Amino acid sequence: MKITAIKSFPVVVGDRNQLLVKVETDRGIYGWGESGMISRERAVMGAIEHYAQFLIGRDPMRAGALWQEMYRSQYFEGGRVLTAAIAAIDIALYDIKGKALGVPVYELLGGRQRDFIPTFASVKASTPARMAELAKTVLDQGWSCIRLNPPEPPTEDPTRFEPWESINRTAEWVIAAREAVGRGAVLGVEYHHRLSVAEAASFCQRLPAGTLDFLEEPIRDETPDAYAALRTLTTVPFAVGEEFASKWQFLPYIERGLMQYARLDLCNVGGFTEAVKVAGWCEAHYIDLMPHNPLGPVCTAATVHLAAAIPNFAWLECRETPGDDTGRHVSPIFLNRPRLDGARYPVPTTPGLGIDINERALPDPAKFVFTELPHFRRADGSHTNW
């Protein structure tokens, strides 16, 4: 069997672009993958076009060797754009191999270790009362782990983000949510790397002990020493890693105890080939995976297979919960997509990823539509993180 084509499809679904990638073979077996580099799809498409130059004609069953060749085939290896391209191709290759052998992808990763995939619910709201209400709603509907999002910027200026204003309001809202759900629920906050060390520490210190079970991405990841400093200022566990593009980026966070949950993104880190290495490394340090999953059904399907096959797994991010339905999973272009059963995803039994795409419904890649994530500014006009 040989690879005959690698095609990229940037598609606007819900509130953002998704970059779907199809790898075709001379046997008629094909696989689907997805890139995690949202809003910079053109860059990833360019990398995929480069890789296609030497992947056409190669054996798709040799995913590990092709991963190494893609990673090492340029002098300036690595980086999020390249690993997002590698991830999409690698996921598609596993889809092909599962279909060719007639087994689900998790069988290629060691076999199924659990009967279903637990998820965590995401909650965002416009008032503290509404946040508490939604948190109680998802708890009553079966979610035992709930992630809260900080209050959105003021409606009169939706691009404004002032950290100190945010941590004041968010602390109050989180305390109200904890009172609503009680002590039995696992409760976390996603701060989308918008804070400094001092701001993140102050936020945690404004919360009564036991309010938070994890704090997700409070600061940027480029400097592990910054996380080490923050670790000395709070006891709240950290959920970190959605920005990491390789096992090497995970290295200091795992080895130095700077993360308690690994927010690995299968579509950014390099696909299954790299993800299983990170998962094993985390297992050796008693760190559970809490995978990042903000994209679409291809990413969800792939991550469900990874979650099924590893022992150290906590919850999968789910963007189909009350109060956070982004519409990224419901497009008619997705066939046989993963579907929630209450607060969990069933483990699929079909060969490959178990998902397919209605290509007739896909737009012409030449008619690319640019989408842009928000550009946040502080009150003084300076730029800050979204």
Q: pLDDT tens for residues 47-101?
A: 999 999 999 999 999 999 999 999 999 999 999 999 999 999 999 999 999 999 9
Is the model's pLDDT at 40 over the cut of 80? yes
Phi and psi for 135 in degrees, rounded to 5?
A: -60, -40
> pTM of the predicted model, to two decimals?
0.96
Told to judge if 192 belongs to the known catalytic residues of this protein, a careful annotator would answer yes
Up-side HSE of residue 36: CA atoms within 13 Å toward CB? 29
Q: Which of 192, 285, 375, 383 is catalytic?
A: 192
**Residue of 128, 235, 239, 134 whose CA lies nearest to 181:** 134
Confidence bin at 327 (pLDDT 50/70/90):
low
Domain 107-349 CATH assignment equals 3.30.1380.10:
no
Domain pair 3-103+361-367 / 107-349, same fold: no
Please give the pLDDT value at position 325: 61
Is the model's pLDDT at 13 over the cut of 90? no
Told to judge if 292 belongs to the known catalytic residues of this protein, a careful annotator would answer yes
CA distance 386 to 376: 6
Please give the pLDDT value at position 15: 72
Q: Which of 50, 193, 292, 305 is catalytic?
A: 292
Please give the pLDDT value at position 328: 62
Domain 3-103+361-367 CATH assignment equals 3.30.390.10:
yes
Confidence bin at 373 (pLDDT 50/70/90):
confident
Q: Where are the domains of the chain?
A: 3-103+361-367, 107-349
Of the candidate ranges 149-163, 166-180, 214-228, the one whose mean pLDDT is the lowest? 149-163
Q: Who's near 187: CB < 8 A, 6+ residues apart? A: 135, 145, 146, 148, 174, 177, 178, 181, 211, 212, 213
The H or E element that residue 117 is part of is strand 116-123
Please give the pLDDT value at position 275: 98
Phi and psi for 149 in degrees, rounded to 5?
A: -105, 140
Please give the pLDDT value at position 367: 78
Please give the pLDDT value at position 357: 94
Is the model's pLDDT at 260 over the cut of 70? yes
